[in-house]
Amino acid sequence: MTPGSTTFTADTTAAQRAAAVWPQTLVGIGVLLTGLGLAFGAIGISSTAGYGGVGPNFLPWLVSAVLTLCGGWMIWEARSGGFRSLEAPSGAERAYWPGFVWVSAGLLMNAALITSIGFILSCALCYVLAVQGLRRASGQPSGAPRTWLIDLVTGLLIAGPVFWMFTKFLAINLPGLTTTGWL
Amino acid sequence: MDIFNALMAGFATAVTPANLLWCLVGCALGTAVGVLPGIGPAVAVAMLLPITAKVEVTASMIFFSGIYYGAMYGGSTTSILLNTPGETASMVTAMEGNKMAKSGRAGAALATAAIGSFVAGTIATVIVTLFAPFVAEFAVRLGPPEYFLLMLLAFTTVSAVLGKSTLRGMTALFIGLAAGCVGLDQISAQSRYTGGIPELLDGIEIVLVAVGLFAVAEVLYAVLYEGRTVEQQNKLSRVHMSARDWKRSIPAWLRGTAIGTPFGCIPAGGTEIPTFLSYAMEKKLAKNPQDKAEFGTSGAIEGVAGPEAANNATVTAALIPLLTLGIPTSNTTAILLGAFQNYGIQPGPQLFTTSATLVWALIASLYIGNLMLLVLNLPLVGLWVKLLKIPKPQLYAGILIFATVGAYGMRQSAFDLFLLYAIGVLGVLMRRFDFPTAPVVVGMILGPLAEAQLRNAMSIGEGSAAVFFQRPMSITLVIIVVAVLVLPRLAKYLPSRRVVV
């Protein structure tokens, strides 16, 4: 799969508008469900209002009502000619999913491993995986062992100094692999 | 003379070697993030927010404001030399600046942008110096109803007026307000929307939202949609302005400053309107047929000078509502407000009395920073341009490492990194479907404050909303909010009626 090369132009064609109906409807449904979910959560919040007549549940109810309304309105817009005054998004028309998977893997593994393997190794791993995805997305050579090695070294060269700078000079707590404070 | 003495005391604090160094590092970092595509000042400040835990408040605020206006200088370099503007603020600069660069006048465009930013930044700083204390004195008299309405005005302008679609602006604002609700309620200490997850009791960190929406979303968006986008870089020519360039630039700088400053002062944020206004004005005012013909063809220098000055004036003047009222009008000022809050300081009218040293050192550092930036950006521009050579994959993957520092460093929780990813995905959806992001950040930061003011106001009115209509200042604000909502729509409706008739 290669990234799409056609880009949206300012005046989208009827075909493009038709293709956008479902994604836009889904966005509307997402907002609607968020609104309803927030309303469900608001039921459990106390309404003790004191002097003001406005309790801790006022804003949650307001937010859920408005979001539900906005979601409904968006669904209507999507089904009746598409979102209004929509600027064509930048970049390719079709998403390049393999790249997204690589970058997501980098970010999620970083989140899962940072406390056990330390900031430097975890971030270097995130860097290596993300750069793989980004290289593939831009059509650069990516799979060769040499590229992996270069990326790994670059990742360590960024993560290491960042770790030392923030922990040593700025006294921010970041997890290390050892307790020496250097790795 | 009070102001003068206070400012001098501010300079005394700001010129200590340590603070000068913070200012310099901030300005340099700001220029770098302004030049680099993919990260802007909001995310740079957000990623560095964890330093508020250790660094002294004056030093870190000087540092953050250095990043804040340094990025404006750097942003113009990218928009002149690349065919893609880094941020909305430099969109207008990109229109004429890019054309000038294409016709071999990149140097003149860069020079007029940097000097124009300096002129506008300095004039606007003088205005901040002179007017902020008066606004603060006036603001002391405002009560909860007025504060709530001022915040409502900020919400209205940021969501309903500035964006293209009111519906999507409102949705973004209320998503921000919903995020602000998570955690313990300020007044009653009730937990809201925590779902039994202890990490959420403290609320969602603004760092997470800003870094997720701007940095992580940017990387995910780039890998999904922009892998094959090719950027052309224009050639850098000698940074020099001819006598004619000066003659054309100076009035444009001054007009740009005059347009930008008032826009920064009112809680109606955003640099889009003043920069576009300035551009339109310069285009209209160009009398010489030769100059006029340059607009949109080979690039007119006024079209860079005016908007660039307007941009910097707006950004600097935006510190007035931030410092005196505690109301942010843009992403970055919202995050600066978050930085103050991390120190337990609530910007507002009392700031000028309770934290006078801090405020005046900050203002003094603006003068110093502007000077530093002029030096950093004129003779050293070649150095910054080299940053544009960093290949995209490595740059974006590197941004993720810094994003991790910001998100994890704030409260040392791996849970936050998962949340960061989720917010990043949300950011991609928002960008793809053209939702504005500023309302989310402003809603999230200002939401809890506005809620507290609303409830205090209602308590004053003993449960009656009439409190918003009984005081002269509050009724004025109600009228302004309504006008802001109604007038643009009316203006759109009327001309179309006339055509029909």
Q: What's the pLDDT tens digit per position in B102-120?
A: 888 999 999 999 999 999 9
Mean pLDDT of B172-194: 91
> Residue range B112-131: average pLDDT?
94
On the CB side of A95, how many CA atoms lie within 13 Å of its CA?
A: 12
Which of A91, A107, A115 is the closest to B229 by Cβ?
Answer: A91
CA distance A129 to A13: 37
Percent of chain B residues past pLDDT 90, beyond the cut: 48
The pLDDT of residue B89: 64
- Of B134, B31, B125, whose CA–CA distance to B78 is shortest? B31
| Gap from B41 CA to chain A (nearest CA, Å) | 19
Q: How many domains are there within chain B?
A: 1
Mean pLDDT over B380-385 rounds to 88
Which residue has tokens 């937010």? Answer: A63
> Which pLDDT score, from 0 to 100, does residue B437 have?
87
- Calpha distance A75→B445 (Å, rounded): 29
In this complex, which of B226, B227, B400 lies closest to A90 when CB atoms are compared?
B226
Mutate to test the interface with A, among B433, B454, B468 (most CBs of A within 10 A): B433
Question: Which residues in B lie closer than 8 A to residue A67 (C-beta atoms)?
Answer: 171, 174-175, 178
Nearest to B224 among A66, A74, A96 (CB): A96
Q: Is the dihedral of CA B440, B444, B446, B452 positive or negative?
A: positive
Mean pLDDT within B305-334:
90
Partner residue facing A134 (CB), from B225, B396, B447: B396
Q: How confident is the model at residue B87 (pLDDT cuts 50, 70, 90)?
A: low
Residue B445 has pLDDT above 70, yes or no: yes
Cβ contacts of B167 on chain A, cutoff 8 Å: 70, 73-74, 77, 84
Mean pLDDT of chain B: 88
Q: Is A16 on the interface with B (CB under 8 A)?
A: no
Lowest mean pLDDT among A69-78, B32-41, B166-175, B252-261: B32-41
How would residue B373 be classed by pLDDT, with cut points 50, 70 and 90?
Answer: very high
Name the closest residue on chain A to residue B169, using Cα atoms. A70
* Distance (Å) of CA B330 to CA A48, A111, B115, B321: 34, 30, 24, 11
Residues 26-85 of A with CB under 8 A from B: 27, 31, 34, 38, 41, 45-46, 48-56, 58-60, 63-64, 66-67, 70-71, 73-74, 77, 83-85
Pick A67's closest partner by Cβ from B174, B400, B432: B174
Residue B492, pLDDT > 80, answer no
Whether A103 and chain B come into contact, CB under 8 Å, resolves to: yes
- Taking every pair of Cα atoms in chain A, the longest distance, rounded to a whole number of angstroms, is 70
* CB within 8 Å of B123: residues ≥ 6 apart: B257, B261, B313
Q: Distance (Å, rounded) from C-alpha A100 to C-alpha A96?
A: 7
What residues of chain B lie within 8 A of the CB of A59, using their CB? Answer: 177, 181, 447, 451
Mean pLDDT of B446-465: 89
- Does B449 score more than 60 pLDDT? yes
Q: Is B248 left (phi over 0), alpha (psi -120 to 50) or beta?
A: alpha
* Any B CB within 8 A of A120 CB: no
Assess whether pLDDT exceeds 90 at residue B290: no
Residue A41 and residue B269: Cα distance in Å, rounded? 33
Checking if the pLDDT of B250 tops 50, the result is: yes
User: Which residue does chain B place closest to A170, by CA atoms?
Assistant: B51
CA separation for the pair B376, B32 (Å, rounded) = 11
Question: What ipTM is given for this predicted complex?
Answer: 0.90
Residue B187 has pLDDT above 90, yes or no: no
Give me the pLDDT at residue B159, please.
83
To the nearest whole Å, the CA of A164 is away from the closest chain B CA by 11
In the block, which residue shows the tokens 């003779």? B379
Nearest CA in chain A to B195: A41
Of the candidates A140, A142, A129, which has an alpha carbon nearest to the alpha carbon of residue A100?
A129
Which candidate in A36, A58, A70 is best for mutational testing of the B interface (most B CBs within 10 A)?
A70
- The pLDDT of residue A23: 93
Q: Which of B25, B60, B181 to mutate against chain A (most A CBs within 10 Å)?
A: B181
Q: Is the pLDDT of residue B162 over 70?
A: no
For residue A139, list chain B residues with Cβ-Cβ distance below 8 A: 227-228
- pLDDT for B475 beyond 70: yes
Interface contacts (A, B; CB < 8 Å): 235
Please measure the distance between the N-terminal and C-terminal CA atoms of chain A and give it in whole angstroms: 39
What is residue B1's predicted lDDT score, i.e. its pLDDT? 54
- Which one of A63-77, A157-171, B61-75, B377-391 scores highest in mean pLDDT? A63-77
Q: What is the pLDDT of residue A10?
A: 46
Residue B461, helix vs strand vs coil: coil
pLDDT value at position B140?
Answer: 87
State the distance between the two ends of chain B, measured CA to CA, in whole angstroms. Answer: 60
Give the pair of three-digit tokens for residue B64.
């953050």
Flag whether pLDDT at B498 surpasses 90: no
**DSSP secondary-structure letter at A166?**
I
Q: Which residues of chain A have pLDDT under 70?
A: 1-13, 49
Q: Is B185 helix (H, G, I), strand (E, B) or coil?
A: coil
B168–A90 C-beta distance less than 8 A: no
For residue B208, give its domain range: 2-500
Closest Cα in chain B to A140: B393
Our measurement of the distance from residue B177's CA atom to the centroid of its chain's CA atoms, rounded to an integer in Å, reads 19
The 3-state secondary structure of B75-137 reads HHHHHHHECCCCCHHHHHHHHHHHHHHHCCCHHHHHHHHHHHHHHHHHHHHHHHHHHHHHHHH
Model confidence pLDDT, tens digit, residues B138-150: 888 889 999 999 9
pLDDT of the residue at B301: 93
Confidence class for position B88, pLDDT limits 50, 70, 90:
low
Q: Which element (helix H / strand E) includes B154?
A: helix B144-156
Residue B20: enclosing H or E segment and its boundaries? Answer: helix B17-35
